[in-house]
Amino acid sequence: MLVAFSITEKNRPSHVEVIMGVLGLKVAIVGTVLAIVSHVRVVRRYDRLGLGMGVLARWRIDEARWRVFRESLAEVAQPPRALPNELKLPVEIPWEGIDVIISSDAFCVGPEFQPLEKNAVVRLVGPVLEIQQRVPAGRYGTRLVAYRLPAPEKAEADVARLTEHFTTQATHSRNRVRKIAWVALIVAVGALVWIVVWVMSVARR
C-alpha cells in the first residue's frame, strides 16, 4: 500500500504541468476552430461573389486593355520598397476578354479569386488598380500584401466608390477590434483566475 502510494505521488503531475496542459489544450481547440471558421468564410465569400452579392465594381477587360495593363505593371512595381503582385495572372487572355469583379469582401480577375480583409486600401495608377491589405502570417502575425488588377478607362468614379467603402469599413473594423480586444482580455483574466483557483483547490487535497 505504501509502495503504491509512493508511486502515485511520484507520477502525479506538478501544478505547473497541469496548467501548461490545460493551456495547451485550449490553444489547440481554439486554433482548430479558427481554421474551420476561416475556411467557411472564404467559401461563403466565393459563393456570394458568384451570385453578385455585395458587388461594388464590375468590369469587362478586353485584349487591348489587358496588354496596356501588362505593360504598366512593371512601372508600378519599380519604386523602392514596392510590394510584389500576389496575383498569378496570365500573359494573354481569351479574345472575348475577362471579367473583373470587386465586392465588399472579395474580388476575382477571371478565374483568380481572392478574399478581401476589412483593412483593404485601393489606389488607381493608370490602367492598374492596386489593392493592399494585411493578411494572417504564421500563427499570430500579419503581413502586408498587394494585388494589382486591370482597370478600364474612366474608372475614377468606380475607384472613388471603392475607396470610400473600404475607408469606412476600416474605421468600423478598428472600433470593433478594440471592443473584441477588451472582451478577450476580460475572458483571459477570468480564465487565468479560474485556473489558479482550481490548482490551489487541487493542492489542498
**Band of pLDDT at residue 45, cut at 50, 70 and 90:** confident
Mean pLDDT of the chain, nearest integer: 78
Whole-angstrom Cα distance, residue 167 to residue 25?
38
Q: Are 173 and 113 in contact (CB under 8 A)?
A: no
For residue range 158-195, list pLDDT tens digits in order.
Answer: 999 999 998 888 776 555 555 566 666 677 777 777 77
Lowest mean pLDDT, pick from 46-50, 61-65, 104-108, 142-146: 46-50
Whether the Cβ atoms of residue 22 and residue 72 lie closer than 8 Å to each other: no
Residue 189's pLDDT is: 74
